Structures are given as structure tokens and as C-alpha cells.
Amino acid sequence: MPHKPQTLFEKVWDAHIVAAPVGEPALLYIDLHLIHEVTSPQAFDGLRMTGRKFRRPDRAIATVDHNVPTTANRIIIEDAIASKQIETLRRNCKDFGIELYDVNAPEQGIVHVIGPEQGFTKPGMTIVCGDSHTSTHGAFGALAFGIGTSEVEHVMATQCLQQGRPKTFRISVEGELPPAVGAKDVALGIIGRIGTDGATGYVIEYAGSAVRSLSMEGRMTVCNMSIEAGARAGMIAPDEKTFAYLQGRPQSPKGAAWDEAIAHWRALVSDEGAVFDRELVIPAGELAPFVTWGTSPGMVAPVTDTVPDPSHVENETDRRSLERALEYMDLKAGAAIEQIDIDRVFIGSCTNSRIEDLRAAAKVVHGYNVSTHVRAMVVPGSQQVKAQAEREGLDRIFRDAGFEWREPGCSMCLGMNPDILQPGERCASTSNRNFEGRQGRGGRTHLVSPMMAAAAAITGHFTDVRNWEFKPQPELVGAD
């Protein structure tokens, strides 16, 4: 009998089914469990209360990222509650034998940056974390998704999850990306098109020539934002770029094992003729540098556009939400996005804090100064990214222009640490959520790419980076 063509998702899913009891969700085996300080304490406590063991400590790693300050001297954390949470993670990791990349470790960083960087993330794996942006790891052809704390405890105790089988959704971005349009714009363009609940219940597979043309870091940016479209996960089939990225990472297989691993990973593509529950094709030429204008990532427009008019929206609840968004953002319908002045710039987060993001931003910044009314900061995604950027001299470019150069962590993406917006402040941010108060109570967030954030920092307002006048670039030392 001929083999039924399968999607990438189906191959990974099927390889991890422990049991499929009739009338119940499947039991899905989890290869890698990423742990951080915020969503784990109650789960560890649950294990203690029930006397259950942590089943596979060797399939878990932990780091501190959400809470940690990004200032140079951060061993002592002044926020007593945050400090207690981090101390709790230390104790839990010690008690249960989990490897922890603590605040001073050379591997420390945002959990979704360090997983791939250290080579923990691999094609064909199932990966979970108590964090919705776990979808990032799908860039490697892994099935990776965020879970709540009860599920964190469930994985700790059983290395499995009860999971209903999601549907499949292939989004193909075809053609060549226009100049200065990058992975972040691909992500924002898709969300603008399908909405923040457009992929609820689905796992997205990103395909098409524009997606293939992205680097691994660009692919991570796209998969990272899958959750912003409501998707359970986002995936991209591994290819030569994936293997080149993984080769030689600390946790990658070596020698003969490497060759064998690649042979398995090569099979992780959607077969010719595989059927998806839903398909969408987006011509790459339709994408532009995007800026969000509202309080949901789907409220997005090209930088050359204007803020839309809620009175054109028919659904009453939606219209009210839109009116409320404009009120919160202090924007008028019809205002030109390029004329919106900003107060702050944040370059960082699990979406856009990797070395290529910093290079792209530095290229724009080089030879310019941050606008006098703007406070701008760069928060590298990990200690490794920070060290690499410093070897390449990117930190000098940012500092010379007037940016703050910080220590790694989630920082102002969600403002759990001291990096927050003040009420009324407007920020161009490379992060992933523009929800009300996300970056600080009363703060106003506009999501953009690293290049767009850099340009806005210089001019003080949103600026079409397609027309940017790049100054002669210095020769990067130590670049790969």
C-alpha cells in the first residue's frame, strides 16, 4: 500500500504518541522542557505536595530571564518578590537536579534564545515551556508550544502532555521580500491578514520561497509570533541552513552521530501531496515595513499608511475595541503613521534580540545619534549574543549613538523587571505584544522590526527604513 503523504507536523506528532486512548486526548511525549522563574514555582510545589518525582531532569533546562534586571550589577536584585522567585528557582533546580543557567552564567539569556543557541533545540523534537513564545523553536522543524503551569507540572511528573490534535495550516509566502522588509514584517503581515485569532486551533507550517530565504534567526522571529495569530505552534521544515546552524553547537551530536542525525532530520518535510486543513498564499511583494498602531498585534499597517477609522467596522464589539484601542494609544483616525512621535525605543525580546537583529539595527544607527527626546535601549537576547556583538563592535555603534547597552533578559518586552514605560510614554519596540500596559501601566507600544526601531530612535518618529540613508559602514571585526 502506498504511504499516505504526511505533513511535517503529522510526522513529528505521530512519532511522539505514547498512548491514544479512545475518547480521550492523546498522550504526547515531550523531548525538551524549558523552565524559567515565573511559571514554574507552583508546579515544583505541586510535585512536592503530591510526592511525585521529576521524571526526566535530563530533558529539562532552566534559566532566569523574565525577572532579572538588565543593569550591569544585578547579582543582588532589589525587588524582594522577584528576588524570592529567582531564589525559589535556584532551590527547585537544586532539589530536583535540573541544570540551571543562572544570572551570571555565560549561557544565560532569554529561554527561547539560548535553547537554539546551545543546540538543545533540534528538528523533530517536541518542546514545551511555560511561555507562549515557545513557538520560536518551531523554526527548526520542532513542534514547540507554550503551556500553563498545571501542564508544566504534568510534564515534570510524566514527561507527557494530554493533547488534542491540532489542525494544520500552511502559510506560504512566495517571491522575493522587498528591500528592508524582514522576518518581523513577514510575521506582522501575516497577523494583519488573518487576525490575532486567525490560526486558533491550528499549527502553522510556514513555507514558500520567501520563508526559505530567511536565515535561521529570521525563521525564529516568524515562528515566535505564531502565538500572536492564535496558533498552537509554528513550524518550518529543516534544510541545509538549519543543519549549518546546528553543527558544532555545544549540545549538537558530533561525529558519526551527527551524520545519522541529519539523515533523520532530512525526512522532516511535508510530503508532496500532503493535505493541510487550511492553506494561504501571501505574495512577498505585498509586504512592507509594518508598524502596529493599536493594542493588539493584528492592528497593524505599513509605515506609509494612516491610522484606520473605526467607524468603518461593522461588528459592534470589534468597533468598540478599536475605538478603545485608539483612545488608549492616543491616536486619531487618519493620522499618518510616519508623523507619530515616540519617546522610547526597545530593541530586544525573544522576537528580535539575536545577533542578526542587532547587526541590522546597528547598520541603520551607524553614523547617527539618537533623537534628543528619545531614550533608547538595546537588550541582547543572551550572554552569547552580547559577547558576539561586543566582539563585532556593535555595542560601540549603539553606545556612540546614545543607546543604552544592557545585560540579557526579557526586559521591557513585558516589564516584569525595572525596565518599564512610564504612563503615556510611546515606544517603538521590537517585541511581540502591544497590549495595554504590556510594557508598563499606561505605556503605548508600537511593534516594529529592528531596523524600523533603529530608524525611529534616530529621527524621533516612525520612518520608512526603505528610504534610509546608510552611512558608510565600518568593517565589522570578529563577524562570523
Partner 1 sequence: MTPFRTLTSGIVPLDRSNIDTDQIIPKQFLKRIERTGYGEFLFFDWRRIQEGPQSGQPDPAFILNDPRYQGAEVLVTGKNFGCGSSREHAAWALSDYGFRCVIAPSFADIFFSNAGKNGIVLVRLPEEQVHALLEHAAADPTYQVTISLEAQTVTDARGFSAHFDIDPFRKYCLLEGLDDIGLTLRHENELDAFEQRHNRQFWVAPRPAAIAR
The 10 Å Cβ neighbour count of residue 459 is 16
Using CA atoms, how far apart are residues 365 and 394, in angstroms rounded to an integer? 10
Question: How do strand 26-29 and strand 17-19 relate by DSSP bridges?
Answer: antiparallel
User: By C-beta, is 84 or 332 nearer to partner 1?
Assistant: 84
Q: Does 25 sit near partner 1 (CB under 8 A)?
A: yes
Among 14, 42, 335, 336, binds partner 1 (CB under 8 A): 42
**Residue at 87: amino acid letter:** E
- Collapsing DSSP to helix, strand or coil, 301 comes out as strand
Residues 147-186 that bind partner 1 (CB under 8 A): 147-151, 153-154, 157-160, 162, 164
Q: Does 58 sit near partner 1 (CB under 8 A)?
A: yes
**Residue at 471: amino acid letter:** K
Residues 361-400 that bind partner 1 (CB under 8 A): none
Q: Does 246 sit near partner 1 (CB under 8 A)?
A: no
User: By C-beta, is 134 or 384 nearer to partner 1?
Assistant: 134
Minimum CB distance to partner 1, residue 149 (Å): 4
Measured in degrees and rounded to the nearest 5, phi and psi for residue 433 equal: -135, 135
Residues 104-143 that bind partner 1 (CB under 8 A): 120, 122-126, 130-132
How far is the CA of 196 from the CAs of 9, 30, 193, 230, in angstroms? Answer: 21, 27, 9, 6
Q: Which stretch binds partner 1 (CB under 8 A): 13-21, 181-189, 208-216, 351-359?
A: 13-21
User: By C-beta, is 142 or 377 nearer to partner 1?
Assistant: 142
Q: Does 146 sit near partner 1 (CB under 8 A)?
A: yes
**Contact criterion met (CB below 8 Å) for 136 and 96:** no
Using CA atoms, how far apart are residues 332 and 198, in angstroms rounded to an integer? 26
Minimum CB distance to partner 1, residue 379 (Å): 16
Q: Does 302 sit near partner 1 (CB under 8 A)?
A: no
**Residue at 39: amino acid letter:** T
Q: Where are the beta strands (DSSP E) in 238-370?
A: 278-283, 290-292, 300-302, 344-347
Using CA atoms, how far apart are residues 7 and 105, in angstroms rounded to an integer? 39
Residues 194-223 that bind partner 1 (CB under 8 A): 196-197, 200-201
Among 175, 437, 460, 474, binds partner 1 (CB under 8 A): 437
Q: Does 81 sit near partner 1 (CB under 8 A)?
A: yes
User: By C-beta, is 380 or 443 nearer to partner 1?
Assistant: 443
Q: Does 97 sit near partner 1 (CB under 8 A)?
A: no
Strand partners, 35: 62
**Contact criterion met (CB below 8 Å) for 416 and 66:** yes
Quote the Cα angle for 106-108-109, to 5°: 135
What grid cell was written down for 235? 513550524
User: By C-beta, is 363 or 438 nearer to partner 1?
Assistant: 438
**Contact criterion met (CB below 8 Å) for 153 and 47:** yes
Q: Residues in contact with partner 1, total (CB under 8 A)?
A: 89
Q: Is 55 exposed, middle or buried (0-12, 13-18, 19+ CB in 10 A)?
A: middle
Among 264, 332, 399, 471, binds partner 1 (CB under 8 A): 264
Among 3, 73, 254, 373, binds partner 1 (CB under 8 A): 254
Residues 318-357 that bind partner 1 (CB under 8 A): 318, 320-321, 324
Residues 397-436 that bind partner 1 (CB under 8 A): 414-416, 423, 433, 435-436
Residues 219-238 that bind partner 1 (CB under 8 A): 227, 230, 232
Minimum CB distance to partner 1, residue 329 (Å): 14
